[in-house]
Structure 1
Amino acid sequence: MANESGVRIPRWLTPINRAMVAISRVGVPLPMALLTVPGRKSGKPRTTPVTPFEYDGVEYVLGGIPGADWVKNVQAADTAELKLGRRRRTVRLVEIPASESEPVLREFPRLVPTGVPVMIKSGVVTSDDPDEFAALAGRCVLFRIDDV
């Protein structure tokens, strides 16, 4: 299945994401966070697993699949809830301009190695080459996470 950006979304991704959300809700700790944001059309809360990471003392999250619905929802929302374990935070996700995102994206494969296989299977990148990730600037959205 390809989204409107032409990126192949692995068939297993949506069911796995749903399972991760359900597992987290029953209290099982996960190595990722849950991001909840109002749907841009329905206004209903939409939750997706994300992997926040730190670069140069700043916390980020990458919209690793171009055109992903959760990214569009974040872009339309003022705030979101980020839940890691039992800790919940109200955050604002600030989109980083492509011109400023390259150095952060270059470090993504080292900082978030668990995210690389999904991006490869989705056809976003072909390897864990840092230059290939830096070239995603302007194609994949990088958000800075600010506490509200």
Structure 2
Amino acid sequence: MADPKPPWWLKPMNKVLMAATRLGLIKDGPMVLTVVGRKSGQPRSTPITPFEVDGHRYVVGGFPGADWVRNAQANPDAVLVRGKVRQPVRMVELSAEQARPLLRQFPVLVPTGVGFMKNAGLVTGPNPDEFEALAGRCSVFRFDNV
């Protein structure tokens, strides 16, 4: 199956979401992730919704091969921002085996992500088996403090 492409409206919506997050209008949920572009060398930002399991924070790449995912794979040093709080982190990509149990929990811990991934054609609903099946296809990263 070919990987889905992001919808046309995603980049403009991301800009709005990032502005709202930076202004502190959104207190929980999304954060702004900034990584260095693998080609440009310039900072690239995108909204993400991290989730916590056993005291560690994780994020799932909503589209296989998304630019921010490839940038993080090339340079794992990143910054998470919510409002005025900036936190430097190192992104550690998990193996498919390590990702499976986290992907099973994703539909419960990030319910907003279910609709996003359903619209992308990656899943049909909040079924943990469908999310687990994305292991190795959608990247999962752990955020380590630096």
Structure 1 length-normalised TM: 0.91
> Which of 114, 138, 141 in structure 2 is aligned with 1:140?
138
Q: Deviations over 1:7-47 (max 9, x none)?
A: 13122211110111223334433531000011100011100
Structure 1's unaligned 5+ residue stretches are: none
- The residue number in structure 2 matching 1:124 is 122
Q: Does 1:71 align with 2:87?
A: no
Q: Does 1:7 align with 2:4?
A: yes
What pairs up with 1:36-51 in 2 under 5 angstroms?
36-51=34-49
> Could you tell me how far apart the structure 2 residues matched to 1:144 and 1:78 are?
10
Measured on the aligned residues, the alpha-carbon RMSD in Å equals: 1.4
> Could you tell me how far apart the structure 2 residues matched to 1:58 and 1:78 are?
16
> Could you tell me how far apart the structure 2 residues matched to 1:53 and 1:125 are?
19
Structure 2's unaligned 5+ residue stretches are: none
Number of aligned residue pairs: give it.
144
CA contact (8 A) 1:10 1:121 kept: no
- The residue number in structure 2 matching 1:17 is 14
> Which of 58, 61, 75 in structure 2 is aligned with 1:60?
58
What pairs up with 1:66-105 in 2 under 5 angstroms?
66-105=64-103
The DSSP-based 3-state class of the residue aligned with 1:106 is helix
Structure 2 length-normalised TM: 0.92
> Could you tell me how far apart the structure 2 residues matched to 1:34 and 1:107 are?
22
> Could you tell me how far apart the structure 2 residues matched to 1:100 and 1:25 are?
32
> Could you tell me how far apart the structure 2 residues matched to 1:100 and 1:24 are?
30
Q: Does 1:33 align with 2:31?
A: yes
Letter paired with 2:79: E
